[in-house]
A and B are shown apart, each in its own frame.
Chain A
Amino acid sequence: MLRRFKERFQGRAGKAQTAAGRAGNPGQAEGYPQPRENRKILVVGQGDSFKEAEMDYALNLAERLGYDLIALNVGPGPATAATFLTPYRKYQRDEFSRRAREAARVFKDRVTAQGLNFIHLVKFGDLGPSIEQINHEIKRVELVITATDITDAEVMAEVNLPFFTLKGFSEEKITTGGREMRQMRPWGKTIAWGIGTAALYAATFLNSGTVMKYFTRGGWYAALPIMTVFAFSFVHGAFAHHLWSALGIEATKKVVQPRPEAKRPVRRQRPRPELRLNA
């Protein structure tokens, strides 16, 4: 597992180096990919993704200062080598790394589009030690930026770097790669509601004789078809909702509260009594 991790990083390092190679950078320290020996900003993501706010902020800052960027995702679980883990834990780690890489790809595109160097790292364990480890392994990391919910004190105790937390962005969309979104699709819920829907339909149509007998009696029996359609619309509606989102068809997030473009003056005062001369 460890070897696979190293291979993966080194593989990426190779790519990073080719990008950095033009600048004449040989650098790689202790198995980690290194952009050229420029100053760097370390951006710590939230779980396996990065927030829009921290990406924007870090990118702007890096652009202004001419720094490179290192993106870091820190996964849950012990910092021990992957060889000592259970298969399930290994699987979880692999999944975390994969999602983190997907998220970082978006970030990378934006950074490289600005002509800056970028590397992405995934670590497991506590945040403080992970950052400190990178600080030791990679030269010239100047500051840390994050939009995570962690309190500064937790990390400050262990990290010897200026540490900036972006506040007030908690509601903002967490930007991850499209592939990750697909991974989170609710197939389980779709199947569960689908079974519920199928059961309701089976119950109705297998007993259609009885159903039709009572449902068409009229009068107070009118409540039966009405209650039935409400129940169906709830269960089948939930199934349909999950099905579309499982298929990746979801509302785009840009539509929040569309307003008509009325530029009319709002007339608020009531008409005032006026003196008129009746001639």
Chain B
Amino acid sequence: MDAGVHEAVQFIDLNTTAVLFLFVVGFIGGLVSGFIGSGGAFVLTPGMMSLGVAGTVAVASNMCHKFPKALVGAYKRYKYGQVDIKLGLVMAASAGLGVLVGIKIQEWILATWGQAGSNLYVSVSFVVILVIVGGYVFLDAWKTAKKGGEEMVSSLALKLQKIHLPPMMYFKTANVRISMWFTLPIGFATGMLAATIAVGGFIGVPGMIYVLGASGLIASATELVIAFVMGFGGTIKWAMMGMVDIRLTLIILAGSLLGVQLGAIGTTYVKEHMIKVVMGTIMLIVAVSRGLAIPKYLKQLGLINLNDGIIAILGLASFISMCIALAVGAIIIIGAMWRAKAKTAGEEVYEKA
């Protein structure tokens, strides 16, 4: 981006509503990402834009809040023994490559089909990936819950772990030994998705669980390491362009640092499949939300003809359902924590360490 764009960027004046909105969404987003490793960005970026923040500033400020949040969350969960740093760094390295390729694809689509085409591509990617992956995660969580919460390593992961394709890597915390060639595509896809829909964790966490064979707990904690590395790199890029509105970042951070720690604590209360339940639920609702936005872009491309009123309603419904996705996630987490705490309150003192 050049200096001309920089001069054109307007930084908004903050009012109480905006501050409250950012704080609350920051908190809930933090809670969800502390629990499942990612989340919040998909509401924050459009939310900020609806407050009048320019798109690039919204993305930059959001990213600038993402890495300290991920850092705090990762540190907290590292103390609980849930983070596999090596896995996180290997994934983050290939995710960096994925981001670069993702941006190139975006630029190519933007040049070929314009803004509406790009938006359509983003929305369709959202819907397709989230419905497939989210649906699978949700089904798996459902099955695990029916079996009494005992998580099994997926058969795909077991098969891949048996394939000896040097260099083999051993991830101690995750207790996984697998060829590097299987970790790279997962990291790459995470980066691609992050560049496309801003939430790489929707691929990264299920990838680590079902392809590499890490547990949900460790996958979601390790995702925070990936988010930190990617967020840090992205922030440097955006900050060097002067796009970060530090006020927005700090307000979101005020809420999200509280939330992310609560979410991290929450993982120690609940059964592991709850992470999958929350993730699957959020992904499916977000898919619906992005699905509602598709007609607008189709209309802009002249592919369908729809009333402007309907488009506006669909747009609003899309944003509201996104907020609902986050809220539902937060409610499930807090509800699960509450139940677990109430259940263990009497037994806690008797438990042996």
Q: B-contacting residues of A (Cβ < 8 Å)?
A: 52, 106, 110, 171-173, 175-178, 201, 204-205, 208, 211-212, 215-219, 221-226, 228-230, 232-233, 236-237, 240-241, 243-244, 249-262, 264, 266-267, 270-271
Contact = CB atoms under 8 A, between A and B. Distances in A.
Interface string B230-260: 0010011001111111110110011001100
9 contacts: A173-B352, A177-B349, A178-B345, A215-B242, A219-B242, A221-B239, A225-B246, A240-B258, A262-B213
Contacts of B236: 222, 226
A270 B82 contact: no
A176 B257 CA distance: 30
Contacts of B161: 264, 267
B223 interface: no
Contacts of A230: 68
A43 B166 CA distance: 59
Contacts of A260: 151, 153, 174-176, 213-215, 218
A218 B240 contact: yes
A146 to B, nearest CB: 19
A23 to B, nearest CB: 27
B257 A233 contact: yes
Interface in B195-248: 213-215, 217-218, 232, 235-236, 239-247
B265 A249 contact: yes
Interface string B83-116: 0000000000000000000000000000000000
Contact of A212 (B245, B257, B353): B245
A216 B250 contact: no
B273 interface: no
Given A175-B349, A240-B261, A244-B262, A218 B241 contact: yes
The 3 closest A-B pairs by CB, nearest first: A218-B242, A222-B239, A233-B68
Contacts of B150: 261
Contacts of B76: 241
B349 A233 contact: no
Contact of B351 (A204, A241, A254): A254
Nearest to A236: B257
A76 to B, nearest CB: 24
A215 B173 contact: no
B148 to A, nearest CB: 13
Contacts of B351: 253-254
Contacts of B143: none
Nearest to B57: A216
A226 B152 contact: no
Contacts of B254: 201, 236
Contact of A201 (B71, B75, B240, B250): B250
B252 to A, nearest CB: 10
B262 A249 contact: yes
- Chain B interface bracket (under 10, 10 to 19, 20 to 34, 35 or more): 35 or more
Given A217-B242, A237-B257, A271-B164, A251 B265 contact: yes
B81 interface: yes
Nearest to B76: A241
A201 B269 CA distance: 32
Contacts of A229: 64-65, 67-68, 235, 246, 249-250, 253
Contacts of B244: 215-216, 222, 225
Contacts of B176: 260, 262
B261 A204 contact: no
Contacts of B218: 258, 260
B153 A261 contact: yes
B246 A212 contact: yes
Given A232-B257, A244-B258, 20 more contacts: A110-B350, A171-B353, A212-B245, A215-B246, A218-B239, A221-B242, A222-B236, A225-B246, A233-B253, A237-B261, A251-B268, A256-B80, A256-B353, A260-B176, A260-B214, A262-B175, A264-B153, A264-B158, A264-B161, A266-B177
Nearest to A262: B153
Contacts of A176: 349
B344 interface: yes
A274 B217 CA distance: 41
A176 B349 CA distance: 7
A202 to B, nearest CB: 11
A203 B176 CA distance: 47
Q: Which of B67, B153, B264, B353 is packed against the most chain A CB atoms within 10 Å?
A: B353
Nearest to A180: B349
B348 interface: yes
B253 A252 contact: no
Contacts of B67: 229
A135 to B, nearest CB: 30
B69 A233 contact: yes
A255 B250 contact: no
A251 to B, nearest CB: 4
Nearest to B217: A258
Nearest to B349: A106
A106 B253 CA distance: 41
Contacts of B242: 215-219, 221-222
Contacts of A225: 64, 235, 239, 244, 246, 249
A259 B215 contact: yes
Nearest to B73: A237
Contacts of B340: 252
B181 interface: no
B239 A226 contact: yes
Q: Which of A218, A267, A270 is packed against the most chain B CB atoms within 10 Å?
A: A218
